[in-house]
């Protein structure tokens, strides 16, 4: 277990006050914060659970519905609604319901779930118990990406603490209801973040997404009704129960309620995690909180929601960071990973690197994704290496509509985002590459000569 | 001006985890059988999940530890102990990148070169590491067997990147020249401590 504070930034001036409530990152950075004693004494730990267990399960779901909480994993789906899709016949014994926590966190530019897992595991555990009560699940799984081995020990210790206190196990707090949580370690595949791929992986299979329907709420893990939620989504549940759904809905903007942890990385002075009410403008995060460009050069492009999100150029830097506005402006809120690129970044190289990622992580089930990503990669390589032709740009533009929305899962769409948006917004850089056989913007080496690309 | 990359621009090297070419075989391990402890561990695992198939991933981790990497024998052994089809285990082992299908060095150095890390100099870090330890990314262990280098995708440490992972341990800090030297020296001496301990 780590005994040295990590160098990530978790806070800023004014954080924890009225304007910027601290609901998800309480005590982050403090090495003892993961312990149950700290959680109970300092952060109102397990009070929400005691409250929830006195309520009818459906009333708990209604409280979450009232909060209008939307999933923080990528798609922004209403959590309360998702929970209500689980079969209601709670007496039917043939159903073992499962609640699965998605801790795969593989989206490049995203590093928020690990902060919750490392510093507030009990908040996640409490959220899972409340969710499991609402849906009357018997077993919960926390699926961690394989690289999070270093987190596993702490998480297991936290789970044991919860068991010792009677929050997990049999007859929880005298209700007669049993629930326990198991951890499961993935083995290095980004696609296992997709919920049905995750379920396959959890069953010990190749992490290939399933075709839907049936949705996990009908046929999920081990053939049983299952709900999959992101770490941050589940960790928000105790807060909602504690303050009340209606009160939580007052944070942020209508339809985009609550706070969200934004991860900002790349060319900013203070990269790190910033928990902000939804709807906070991007440029406020970029300049006021993260300190603006770290290189002294102007910021050219920002990816607002993890590698899958199409990029913004300067005219969209005022975009409010909620779920709906980035979408209306042609990008998406995604996982909340904000990647910042300054003027010296060669967009062609950046897009090539992202496309290589998607081509590598494609599970290979759908032809458009498997072949299309590799095709885009080859065209981009050609351009990057000074062997491009002008027709290649049209070729690229003609490929993306043949991939997006024609695949089993959203990875195909995700791979098209960076290519499409950069062609639209930075076409001159591609043309420069083709005509002059070198980068339009120089100063950062993004691709290693020894690397495979 | 960014120099045009050498070697030849369109040269296509095979990533270490890429599928095998026709006729190519996976390297075999020295060991052919799981140790009794590992076998017992896998057997207890199988009872832990609603379905024994679910124990495939954890069992492969155990076999990897036992064999040093996931060789064909390791896969067959896992299939035998769990009582699941060999083809299933082979399919799973080849799907996931954390199961090493080829031998790795005693210190397996993995650099994230995805975008956030690339913006902070991951490419240079990777080149520097490859040069210092004398092992090319994805090309197997160095001559002394001490090192292997791999380029990996996002490790969820993008804010403090470029991010380095040594064996199973994510190195959670900006790794500059001095830190890298210190780290490599500690490995050479054999007293490498996981980050944060
Ligand atoms: C390619 C791909 C990768 C994904 N990766 C993750 C991930 O790492 N973590 C996550 O929570 N959700 C991820 N998702 C979203 C999940 O499919 C799912 O929507 C989410 O876990 C639902 O939880 P939520 O409703 O709480 O957001 C991914 C989706 C796709 C298509
Ligand atoms: S879109 Fe790509 S990753 Fe998703 S199921 Fe199809 S091939 Fe697999
Ligand atoms: S991009 Fe390197 S750790 Fe996320």
- Extract the tokens encoding A318: 């005022």
- Extract the tokens encoding B189: 């001496």
Position B32 confidence tier, pLDDT thresholds 50, 70, 90: confident
CB–CB of B49 and A204 under 8 A? yes
Q: What pLDDT, on the 0 to 100 scale, is given for residue B9?
A: 45
Is the distance from CB of A23 to CB of A238 less than 8 angstroms? no
From residue A308, give the alpha-carbon distance in Å to each of A109, A177, A209, A257, A305. Answer: 10, 40, 17, 23, 7
Sole residue written with tokens 């790794």: B175
- Identify which of A3, A266, A385 has the shortest CB distance to residue B119: A266
Give the C-alpha separation, A412 to A405, whole Å: 7
CB–CB of B88 and A446 under 8 A? no
For B149, the 3-state DSSP assignment is strand
Closest chain A residue to B58, measured at CA: A185
Query: pLDDT at residue B1 above 70?
Result: no
Q: What pLDDT, on the 0 to 100 scale, is given for residue A452?
A: 47
For A131, the 3-state DSSP assignment is helix
What values do phi and psi take at A183, rounded to 5? Answer: -100, 155
Position B18 confidence tier, pLDDT thresholds 50, 70, 90: low
- Extract the tokens encoding A193: 């973040």
Work out the minimum CA distance from A264 to partner chain B, whole angstroms: 7
Cβ of residue A409 lying under 6 Å from some atom of ligand 2: yes
Residues of chain A with pLDDT under 50: 452-453
Residues of B in contact with A119 (CB under 8 A): none
- Return the ligand number nearest the Cα of A336: 1
Non-local CB neighbours of B3 within 8 Å, separated by 6+ positions: none
From residue B101, give the alpha-carbon distance in Å to each of B19, B60, B95, B146, B166. Answer: 10, 11, 10, 17, 18
Work out the minimum CA distance from B105 to partner chain A, whole angstroms: 18
Per-residue pLDDT tens over the stretch B111-141: 999 999 999 999 999 999 999 999 999 888 9
Q: Counting one residue from A and one from B, how many pairs have CB atoms under 8 Å apart?
A: 229
Closest chain B residue to A10, measured at CA: B159
Specify whether the backbone of A443 is left (phi greater than 0), alpha (psi in -120 to 50) or beta: left
Is the distance from CB of A249 to CB of A257 less than 8 angstroms? yes
**Confidence (pTM):** 0.94
- Identify which of B50, B127, B156 has the shortest CB distance to residue A450: B127
- Identify which of B49, B158, B195 has the shortest CB distance to residue A265: B158
Work out the minimum CA distance from B31 to partner chain A, whole angstroms: 23
Report the relative pairing of strands B147-152 and B164-166 from DSSP bridges: unpaired
Q: What residues are in contact with ligand 3 under a 6 Å CB criterion?
A: A 108; B 112, 114-117, 154-158, 161, 163
Specify whether the backbone of A266 is left (phi greater than 0), alpha (psi in -120 to 50) or beta: left
CB–CB of B13 and A452 under 8 A? yes
Query: pLDDT at residue B2 above 80?
Result: no
Atom of ligand 3 nearest to the CA of B155: 3
Residue A183: other Cβ atoms inside 10 A? 17
Closest chain A residue to B119, measured at CA: A266
Residue/partner pairs of A14-22 with CB below 8 Å, 24 or more apart: A15/A274, A15/A275, A19/A277, A20/A259, A20/A275, A20/A276, A20/A277, A21/A251, A21/A259, A21/A277, A22/A275
Residues of A in contact with B194 (CB under 8 A): 150
- DSSP E strands in B27-156: the ranges are 107-112, 147-152
Residues of B in contact with A140 (CB under 8 A): none
Per-residue pLDDT tens over the stretch A434-453: 999 999 998 889 988 755 44
Is the distance from CB of A28 to CB of A273 less than 8 angstroms? yes
What percent of chain B clears pLDDT 70, i.e. is strictly above it? Answer: 88
- Identify which of A186, A385, A438 has the shortest CB distance to residue B10: A385
Query: pLDDT at residue B28 above 90?
Result: no
Q: What pLDDT, on the 0 to 100 scale, is given for residue B26?
A: 79
Among positive and negative, which fits the CA dihedral A162, A167, A171, A174? positive
Cβ of residue A406 lying under 6 Å from some atom of ligand 2: no
Position B6 confidence tier, pLDDT thresholds 50, 70, 90: very low
Query: Concatenated DSSP letters for A298-322?
Result: PEEEEESSSTTSPPEEGGGTT-EES
* Best CA proximity match to B106, nearest among B57, B168, B163: B168
Query: pLDDT at residue B41 above 70?
Result: yes
Q: What pLDDT, on the 0 to 100 scale, is given for residue B20?
A: 62
Cβ of residue A233 lying under 6 Å from some atom of ligand 1: yes
Among positive and negative, which fits the CA dihedral A24, A26, A30, A34? negative
- Average pLDDT over chain A reads 94
Cα angle B55, B61, B63; round to 5: 95
From residue A250, give the alpha-carbon distance in Å to each of A24, A232, A325. Answer: 16, 19, 18
Q: What pLDDT, on the 0 to 100 scale, is given for residue A91?
A: 58
Per-residue pLDDT tens over the stretch A182-231: 999 999 999 999 999 999 999 999 999 999 999 999 999 999 999 999 99
Residues of B in contact with A207 (CB under 8 A): 95-96
Domains and CATH numbers, chain A: 24-252 (3.40.50.11540), 258-342 (3.10.20.600), 347-452 (1.20.1440.230)
Atom of ligand 3 nearest to the CA of A110: 4
Sole residue written with tokens 């506005």: A325
Distance (Å) from CA A438 to ligand 1 centroid: 37
Domains and CATH numbers, chain B: 31-95 (1.10.10), 107-189 (3.40.30.10)
- Dihedral angle computed from the Cα positions of residues B113, B118, B124 and B126, in that order, rounded to the nearest 10 degrees: -10
Which of A99, A230, A265 should be substituted to probe chain B, the one whose Cβ sees the most B Cβ atoms within 10 Å?
A265
Cβ of residue A196 lying under 6 Å from some atom of ligand 2: no
């Amino acid at each position: 277990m780590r005994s040295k504070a990590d160098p990530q930034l978790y806070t800023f001036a004014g954080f924890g006050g009225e304007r910027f409530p601290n609901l998800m990152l309480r005590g982050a950075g403090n090495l003892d914060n993961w312990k149950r004693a700290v959680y109970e004494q300092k952060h109102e730990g397990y009070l929400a659970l005691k409250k929830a267990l006195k309520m009818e399960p459906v009333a708990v779901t209604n409280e979450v519905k009232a909060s209008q909480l939307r999933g923080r994993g990528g798609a922004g789906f209403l959590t309360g609604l998702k929970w209500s899709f689980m079969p209601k016949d709670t007496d039917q014994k043939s159903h073992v319901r499962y609640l699965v926590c998605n801790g795969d966190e593989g989206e490049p530019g995203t590093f928020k779930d690990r902060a919750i897992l490392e510093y507030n595991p009990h908040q996640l555990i409490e959220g899972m118990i409340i969710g499991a009560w609402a849906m009357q699940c018997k077993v919960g799984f926390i699926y961690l990406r394989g690289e999070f081995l270093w987190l596993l020990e702490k998480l297991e210790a936290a789970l044991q603490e919860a068991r010792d206190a009677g929050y997990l196990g049999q007859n929880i707090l005298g209700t007669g209801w049993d629930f326990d949580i198991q951890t499961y370690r993935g083995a290095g595949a980004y696609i296992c973040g997709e919920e049905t791929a995750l379920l396959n992986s959890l069953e010990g299979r190749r992490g290939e997404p399933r075709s839907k329907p049936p949705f996990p709420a009908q046929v999920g893990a081990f053939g049983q009704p299952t709900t999959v939620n992101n770490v941050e989504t589940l960790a928000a549940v105790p807060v909602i129960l504690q303050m009340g759904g209606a009160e939580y809905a007052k944070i942020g903007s209508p339809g985009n309620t609550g706070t969200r942890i934004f991860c900002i990385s790349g060319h900013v002075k203070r990269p790190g995690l910033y928990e902000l009410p939804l709807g906070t403008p991007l440029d406020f995060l970029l300049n006021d909180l993260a300190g603006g460009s770290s290189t002294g050069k102007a910021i050219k492009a920002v990816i607002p929601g993890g590698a899958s999100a199409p990029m913004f150029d300067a005219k969209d830097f005022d975009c409010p960071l909620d779920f709906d506005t980035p979408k209306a402006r042609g990008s998406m809120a995604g996982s909340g990973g904000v990647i910042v690129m300054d003027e010296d970044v060669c967009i062609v190289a950046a897009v090539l690197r992202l496309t290589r990622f998607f081509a590598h992580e494609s599970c290979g089930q759908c032809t458009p994704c498997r072949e299309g990503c590799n095709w885009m990669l080859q065209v981009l390589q050609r351009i990057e290496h000074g062997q491009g032709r002008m027709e290649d740009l049209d070729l690229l533009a003609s490929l993306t509509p043949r991939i997006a929305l024609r695949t089993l899962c959203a990875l195909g769409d995700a791979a098209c985002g960076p290519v499409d948006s950069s062609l639209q917004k930075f076409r001159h850089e591609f043309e420069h590459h083709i005509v002059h056989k070198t980068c339009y913007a120089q100063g950062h080496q993004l691709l290693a000569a020894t690397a495979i690309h | 001006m960014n120099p045009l990359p050498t070697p030849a621009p369109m040269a296509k090297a095979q990533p270490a985890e890429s599928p095998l070419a026709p006729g190519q075989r996976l390297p075999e391990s020295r060991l052919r059988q799981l140790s009794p402890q590992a076998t017992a561990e896998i057997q207890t695992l199988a009872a832990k999940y609603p379905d024994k198939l679910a124990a495939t991933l954890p069992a492969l981790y155990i076999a990897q530890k036992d064999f040093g990497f996931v060789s064909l024998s390791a896969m067959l052994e896992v299939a035998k102990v769990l009582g699941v089809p060999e083809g299933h285990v082979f399919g799973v082992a080849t799907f996931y990148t954390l199961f090493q299908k080829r031998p790795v060095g005693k210190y397996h150095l993995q650099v994230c070169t995805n975008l956030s890390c690339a913006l902070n100099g991951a490419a240079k870090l990777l080149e520097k590491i490859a040069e210092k330890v004398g092992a090319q990314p994805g090309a197997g262990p160095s001559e002394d067997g001490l090192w292997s280098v791999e380029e990996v995708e996002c490790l969820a440490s993008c804010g403090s990147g470029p991010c380095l992972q040594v064996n199973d341990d994510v190195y959670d800090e900006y790794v500059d020249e001095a830190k890298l030297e210190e780290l490599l020296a500690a490995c050479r001496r054999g007293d490498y401590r996981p980050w944060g301990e």
